[in-house]
């Protein structure tokens, strides 16, 4: 397995995902973690990530010296290479030309890391690689024992290697897809140089999780809050396979779910898979609590707290339950353990109001704690969940509660569900669903005029929202075809009595958030 030390690059998690895709387990630790933890990890190889700092600054972050003393291969990427160079006795300078973006580098194929890896060959016989660079500083003097591995015009030392010790440095980013040979370079490092075996596959992940869950919980009961979202669904499927009827799911139907969602969750888990699911129909309780409330943050808190209250009531009835299962995934774990420079943890979601009861006397079981979202999806499919469920767009915890502007009423929720269902099913039908990252309808409680036949009607407005995004922190509105939008609009207005106007949201994020509230 591989240990990645994080110096705060936005790409650190990407490095980890690439290594996992190669089939090798890896974890990310903050660069300033204690030496003993690094030793205890027993890595076959260590990767030093990039980072925003500059080595030429006196108190720049350094790799703990243990990294270079364990006799395992080390790969420094970008900042990781620079700190390696500086720490091993080379020299790094702030560079006048900053390089961001594509670069063509001359890769000397005489090192193990880059041997026979190139995009094309120059007439003089040099191997060239098209790579993604982003750096300000550069290594200007190799440390003793290192040889030059790659160079560009502006960074004469763009790669270096000490092949006796198996220490390698790359100024460019092999983890981003813009570096076409990046996958091969990382594979070469982890499979050939570190000699890891590619055993990290969906099937093995499932087998070993099942084994460790069984060991952890023995024959005690486990309770899980099932929401129908990807993470809790995969936890349910996994635990069901591991411990069968010892798993009891509590599914709170808030009345703020999508069309038929409650029934679908029950059909899938309870009927089809035979999972123990307690469905709590709490629509009326939610509507009562939300009556007269129009402030979005207040609505979020009410919805979150009520969930905790109901979940608490239900689990209190399960007097034999000793464990609480949660769908925590690896990015949550990394973000809460970030290093001092770990910019990543600033991006922590601001949304998770409520959560689960803090004073529950239950022990935690978190079988997805080591997994990235894409791995969670893959094991979900492997466990037999339908891919439509596993690859569904994200749906916010407060559900339609934040898609009905202002006060939530049942009448509004019912209209919104119908409109949303038309929009989403048309997206599927036109093969556009997976071309958008998130799409939904929003209910605007204002009345606008319409004419039908010879009557005028004053009815509500629906806004359609569809975005494309990688990380949900920024997003572009999706450029859906006009005739598609026209068709959806016609269907909504003709089929739903109560809606007389449909608009399409063409706001980017920032400044407009993805949700309307
Ligand atoms: P915004 O609206 O902030 O949304 O651009 C970014 C992503 O977060 C989701 N979102 C939420 N998820 N509880 C959640 O669990 C919430 O209160 C919440 N608000 C927004 C939103 O759907 C989008 O995917």
DSSP states of 11-73 as a string?
THHHHHHHHHHHT--EEEEETT--HHHHHHHT-SEEEE---SS-TTSTT-----GGGGTS-S-
Burial of 289 (0-12, 13-18, 19+ CB in 10 A): middle
Residues 262 and 253: their CA atoms lie apart, in Å, by: 6
For 2-193, CATH number? 3.40.50.880
Query: What is the whole-number distance in angstroms between the Cα of residue 8 and the centre of ligand 1?
Result: 24
Query: What is the whole-number distance in angstroms between the Cα of residue 385 and the centre of ligand 1?
Result: 24
- Give me the residues paired with residue 461 across strands: 444, 501
Tell me which DSSP letter residue 105 carries.
E
Among 302, 472, 474, which residue has the most ligand 1 atoms within 8 Å of its CB, making it the best to mutate? Answer: 472
Closest by CA position to 274, among listed 299, 256, 247: 247
Q: Is 393 assigned a catalytic role?
A: no
**pLDDT, tens digit, for every residue of 428-476?**
999 999 999 999 999 999 999 888 777 888 999 999 999 999 889 999 9
Does the structure show a pLDDT above 80 at 173?
yes
Closest by CA position to 517, among listed 417, 396, 429: 396
Secondary structure element (H or E) that encloses residue 244, with its range: none
Q: Is 99 assigned a catalytic role?
A: no
> Sheet containing 120-121: which strands, arranged edge to edge?
26-30, 2-6, 45-48, 74-77, 167-170, 159-162, 147-151, 91-107, 127-141, 120-121
CATH 3.40.50.880 residue spans of the chain:
2-193
Does the structure show a pLDDT above 80 at 481?
yes
**pLDDT score for 344:** 41
Instruction: Give the E-state strand segments of 226-365 in sequence order.
Output: 247-253, 276-281, 321-325, 363-365
CATH 3.40.50.620 residue spans of the chain:
202-390
Please give the CATH topology (third level) of the domain spanning 202-390.
Answer: Rossmann fold (3.40.50)
The catalytically annotated residue of 135, 166, 173, 240 is 173
- The answer to whether the pTM exceeds 0.90 is no
Answer for the pair 459, 498: CB distance below 8 angstroms, yes or no.
yes
Stretch 29-36: mean pLDDT, rounded? 95
Ligand 1 proximal residues by C-beta, below 6 Å:
300, 351, 394, 396-398, 402, 438, 472, 509, 513-515
Q: Is 175 assigned a catalytic role?
A: yes
**pLDDT score for 357:** 54
Does the structure show a pLDDT above 90 at 335?
no
Answer for the pair 250, 315: CB distance below 8 angstroms, yes or no.
yes
**pLDDT score for 358:** 58
Q: Looking at domain 409-504, which of 3.30.450.40, 3.40.50.720, 2.60.120.620, 3.30.300.10 is its CATH number?
A: 3.30.300.10
Structure-token pair, residue 40: 């205890």
Atom of ligand 1 at shortest distance to CA of 395? 22
**pLDDT score for 109:** 73
CATH 3.30.300.10 residue spans of the chain:
409-504
The catalytically annotated residue of 53, 99, 118, 175 is 175
Residues 315 and 80: their CA atoms lie apart, in Å, by: 48
CA atoms within 13 A on the CB side of 55: 27
Atom of ligand 1 at shortest distance to CA of 349? 8
Measured CA to CA in angstroms, residue 264 lies from 270, 426, 482 at distances of 10, 19, 32
**pLDDT, tens digit, for every residue of 96-109?**
767 788 999 998 77
29 CB-near residues (< 8 Å, 6+ apart): 3, 4, 5, 6, 37, 38, 41, 337
Answer for the pair 115, 146: CB distance below 8 angstroms, yes or no.
no
Burial of 85 (0-12, 13-18, 19+ CB in 10 A): buried
Least confident among 220-229, 290-299, 334-343: 334-343
């Amino acid at each position: 397995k591989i240990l990645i030390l994080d110096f705060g690059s936005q790409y650190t998690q990407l490095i980890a995902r690439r290594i996992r895709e190669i089939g090798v387990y890896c974890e990310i630790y903050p660069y300033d973690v204690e030496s003993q933890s690094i030793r205890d990890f027993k890595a076959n190889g260590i990767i030093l990530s990039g980072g925003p700092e500059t080595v030429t600054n006196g108190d720049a972050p350094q790799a703990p010296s243990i990294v270079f003393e364990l006799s395992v291969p080390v790969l420094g990427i970008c900042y990781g290479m620079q700190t390696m160079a500086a720490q091993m006795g080379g020299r790094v300078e702030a560079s006048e030309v900053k390089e961001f973006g594509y670069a063509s580098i001359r890769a000397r194929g005489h090192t193990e890391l880059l041997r026979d890896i190139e995009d094309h060959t120059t007439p003089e016989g040099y191997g060239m690689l098209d790579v993604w660079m982003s750096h300000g500083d550069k290594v200007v003097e190799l440390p003793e024992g290192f040889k030059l591995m790659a160079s560009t015009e502006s960074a004469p030392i763009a790669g270096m290697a000490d092949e006796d010790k198996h220490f390698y440095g790359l100024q460019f980013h092999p983890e981003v897809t813009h570096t076409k040979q990046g996958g091969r370079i990382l594979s070469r490092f982890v499979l050939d140089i570190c000699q890891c075996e590619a055993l990290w596959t969906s099937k093995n992940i499932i087998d070993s999780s099942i084994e460790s869950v069984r060991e952890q919980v023995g024959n005690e009961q486990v309770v899980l809050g099932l929401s129908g979202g990807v993470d809790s669904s995969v936890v349910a499927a996994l635990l069901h396979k591991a411990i069968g009827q010892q798993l009891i799911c509590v599914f709170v139907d808030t009345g703020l779910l999508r069309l038929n969602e409650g029934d679908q969750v029950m059909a899938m888990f309870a009927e089809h898979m035979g999972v123990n699911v307690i469905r709590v129909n709490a629509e009326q309780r939610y509507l009562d609590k939300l009556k007269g409330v129009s402030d979005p943050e207040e609505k979020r808190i009410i919805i979150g707290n009520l969930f905790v209250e109901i979940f608490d009531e239900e689990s209190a009835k399960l007097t034999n339950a000793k464990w609480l299962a949660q769908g925590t995934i690896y990015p949550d774990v990394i973000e809460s353990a970030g290093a001092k420079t770990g910019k990543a943890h600033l991006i922590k979601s601001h949304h998770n109001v409520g959560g689960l009861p803090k004073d529950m006397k239950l022990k935690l079981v978190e079988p997805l704690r080591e997994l990235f979202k894409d791995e969670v999806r893959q094991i979900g499919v492997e466990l037999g969940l339908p891919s439509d469920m596993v690859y569904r767009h994200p749906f916010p915890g407060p559900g339609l509660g934040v898609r009905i502007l202002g006060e939530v009423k049942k009448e509004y929720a019912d209209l919104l569900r119908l409109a949303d269902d038309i929009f989403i099913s048309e997206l599927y039908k036109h093969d556009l669903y997976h071309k958008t990252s998130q799409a939904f309808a929003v209910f605007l409680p204002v009345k606008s005029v319409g004419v039908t036949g010879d009557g005028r009607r004053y009815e509500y407005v629906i806004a359609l929202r569809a975005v494309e995004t990688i990380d949900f922190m920024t997003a572009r509105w999706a450029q859906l075809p006009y005739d598609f939008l026209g068709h959806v609009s016609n269907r909504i207005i003709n089929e739903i009595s109560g809606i007389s106007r449909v608009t399409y949201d063409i706001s980017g994020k920032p400044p407009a958030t993805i949700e309307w509230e």
